[in-house]
Chain A
Amino acid sequence: MNAPAALLTVAGLVVRYGAIAAVKGVDIHVGDGEIVGIVGPNGAGKTSLVSAIAGIVTPADGTIIFAGRPLGGGALEDVVARGIALVPEGRHIFASLTVIENLMLGATIRRDTAALRQDIERYFAMFPILGQRRRQPAGQLSGGEQQQLAIARAMLSRPRLIMLDEPSLGLAPTVVDQVYALLNALREQGITILLVEQNAERVFGLSDRVYVMSGGEFGLSGSAAEIQNDPRFDAAYFGVHMQEAANPL
């Protein structure tokens, strides 16, 4: 089977915060229609990586090519217009705004009012609780409902790539099941997904390919099945140097 055409290619990406390098020259490739997972412990550099792709932080080095054209150098607000949507860690919904206002913000770049209304109604059908609470401040929603809102908000920009940073963080297991069922539904719509999680088991169940990140670098990468069964996975996840893991003595 041919590999899907590259939608996102990151090469030699370095992200620094002062003297500290959070991402140390990583390469990543996401094919059109793929679901790619990045797993790693807290502090591995996963959020810095997606923040660089989303334009929130400026990389110190490296290139990001999206849909054949370089990203970066423009304003932060231009990234969504290129077709990249972010569901950030902690969701960052606008607590004082209503559910429907949050959704409208997700469609900031759109001008097709009639189609937008239909899309919003479609998401209300998909997430009935959001429809029922459309006029309520989003801060009154539960964590799981807020995650649904954050995903629907991101989808309303009609992205080619949606990046989700720790979508299961702080949610009850049953709610995480709902969130992952939703991501499965997005897969069936052909949306390309870059999924960042500490919870590796969840990522293995959904992703086509997985990168394991620790200490700002990728230790392992491959298909979800390969990584799941790779004896080096624990060492790569927890940042033990690969050679040390292979030759402990």
Chain B
Amino acid sequence: MERFVQTLVDALSVGSLYALTALGIGLIFGVMRLINFAHGELITISAYTLLALFGLPIPVMLFGAIAVAIGLALLTERAAFRPLRNADPTTLLISSFAVSFFLQKTLILVVGSRLKGLDFLPELNRHADFLGIRLQILQIVTIAISAGLLAALTWFLKATRLGLHMRAAAEDFRMARVLGVRANSVIAMAFALSGILAAAVSCLIVVQTGTVQPRMGVQLVIIAFVGTVIGGLGSLSGAALGGFLVGAASILLQALLPPDLRAFREAFVFIAVALILLFRPQGLIPARGLKERI
């Protein structure tokens, strides 16, 4: 029983991390039809910010990581994506790869490609008893932070004027602009929110692994992107669900597959992804009324 609950909590925790990452990608796709692979670099550079600020009070480190991720997200939007806003999706996709490679290689140039240790909040890696079951504190914190961020994002999108504008822009950007919704504000807010989500994921990953390295965000983003596709491109709830399912499925397969087959767990995950797309090509929660962007 204890092992079952531990596996379940592990799956929830990893699924939550992928859900946050997929949501960061989904937010940008919603308003710009841009699949932002540079989201991985927001996670990575946020982690290196923690490394650079190591030794300072924890709130300063956290604030620094979030501020850098937001600043970098806004900078990439202003410098790289805004001039291409009217370009076709393929051009936008290639530009996101270009931004991703540029940031990654610049980071390697500045800090090197070697993995570095970072003992950030090690106390979260301890175990504690929860209702008689021994669980890692970090897993509970990860689930709680993810749930909190999802709730805050939902509140923002549902209860604020800018959130309403973002939802309208995600559905029909041109009509939203005809009604006076400011394209620059909506897109900048989406990038800023994706920066916050990237920083949160970054902090949790750093606590979990105790290391930083220049490609740490890339793998996460690729898997999370798969999550946004199976969830339904353009649908935020779909992105969160898809990201969660991919992450959780990978942990559950690791626990449930016979030892000989565990090395192939990714193959099983992608078979499931292929089956989902075969039966629901628009994703699990298709975006409603999605129109062409400007």
Which of A's residues lie within 8 Å of B, judged by CB?
54-56, 75-77, 79-81, 86, 88, 92, 94-97, 101, 104-106, 108-109, 137, 139, 153, 157
CB contact between B288 and one of A79, A81, A95, A108 (< 8 Å): that residue: A95
Does A77 lie within 8 Å of B177, measured CB to CB? Answer: yes
> Considering the complex, which residues of chain B in the window 155-177 have a beta carbon less than 8 Å from any beta carbon of chain A?
161, 164-165, 167-168, 171-172, 174-177
CB contact between A108 and one of B174, B180, B291 (< 8 Å): that residue: B180
Does A80 lie within 8 Å of B168, measured CB to CB? Answer: no
CA distance A88 to B164 in the complex (A): 20
CA distance A92 to B179 in the complex (A): 11
User: Which chain B residues lie closer than 8 Å to A80 at the CB level?
Assistant: 178-180
Does A96 lie within 8 Å of B178, measured CB to CB? Answer: no
Does A105 lie within 8 Å of B181, measured CB to CB? Answer: yes
Which of B's residues lie within 8 Å of A, judged by CB?
161, 164-165, 167-168, 171-172, 174-183, 287-289, 291, 294
Tell me whether A109 and B180 are in contact in the complex, defined as CB-CB below 8 angstroms, given that A96-B288, A97-B171 are known contacts.
Answer: yes
Tell me whether A54 and B168 are in contact in the complex, defined as CB-CB below 8 angstroms, given that A75-B183, A96-B288, A96-B289 are known contacts.
Answer: no
Does B178 lie within 8 Å of A139, measured CB to CB? Answer: no
CA distance A40 to B164 in the complex (A): 37
CA distance A92 to B167 in the complex (A): 14
CB contact between A92 and one of B165, B175, B181, B183 (< 8 Å): that residue: B175
CB contact between B289 and one of A55, A56, A139 (< 8 Å): that residue: A139
User: Which chain B residues lie closer than 8 Å to A106 at the CB level?
Assistant: 179
Given A105-B176, A108-B165; 16 other pairs, CB 8 A cutoff:
A55-B178, A75-B183, A76-B177, A77-B181, A80-B178, A92-B291, A94-B168, A94-B171, A94-B176, A96-B167, A96-B289, A97-B168, A101-B168, A104-B164, A109-B180, A139-B288
User: Which chain A residues lie closer than 8 Å to B168 at the CB level?
Assistant: 94, 97, 101, 105
CB contact between A77 and one of B161, B183, B288 (< 8 Å): that residue: B183
CA distance A95 to B175 in the complex (A): 12
Does B178 lie within 8 Å of A76, measured CB to CB? Answer: yes
Nearest CB on A from B23, distance (A): 17
**A106, closest chain B residue (CB):** B179
**B183, closest chain A residue (CB):** A77
**A101, closest chain B residue (CB):** B164
CA distance A180 to B164 in the complex (A): 30
CA distance A157 to B165 in the complex (A): 15
Nearest CB on A from B257, distance (A): 39
User: Which chain A residues lie closer than 8 Å to B179 at the CB level?
Assistant: 77, 80, 105-106, 108, 153, 157
User: Which chain B residues lie closer than 8 Å to A157 at the CB level?
Assistant: 179-180
- State the 5 A-B residue pairs at the shortest beta-carbon distance, nearest first: A95-B289, A108-B180, A96-B288, A92-B175, A109-B180
User: Which chain B residues lie closer than 8 Å to A92 at the CB level?
Assistant: 172, 175, 291
Does A79 lie within 8 Å of B171, measured CB to CB? Answer: no
Does A94 lie within 8 Å of B175, measured CB to CB? Answer: yes
**B185, closest chain A residue (CB):** A77
CA distance A153 to B287 in the complex (A): 23
**B291, closest chain A residue (CB):** A92
**A80, closest chain B residue (CB):** B180
Tell me whether A54 and B164 are in contact in the complex, defined as CB-CB below 8 angstroms, given that A75-B183, A94-B289, A95-B289 are known contacts.
Answer: no
User: Which chain B residues lie closer than 8 Å to A95 at the CB level?
Assistant: 171, 288-289
Tell me whether A77 and B174 are in contact in the complex, defined as CB-CB below 8 angstroms, given that A108-B165, A139-B288 are known contacts.
Answer: no
Does A56 lie within 8 Å of B174, measured CB to CB? Answer: yes
User: Which chain B residues lie closer than 8 Å to A86 at the CB level?
Assistant: 178
Nearest CB on B from A195, distance (A): 17
User: Which chain B residues lie closer than 8 Å to A55 at the CB level?
Assistant: 178
Most chain A CB inside 10 Å of its own CB: which residue of B179, B287, B288: B179
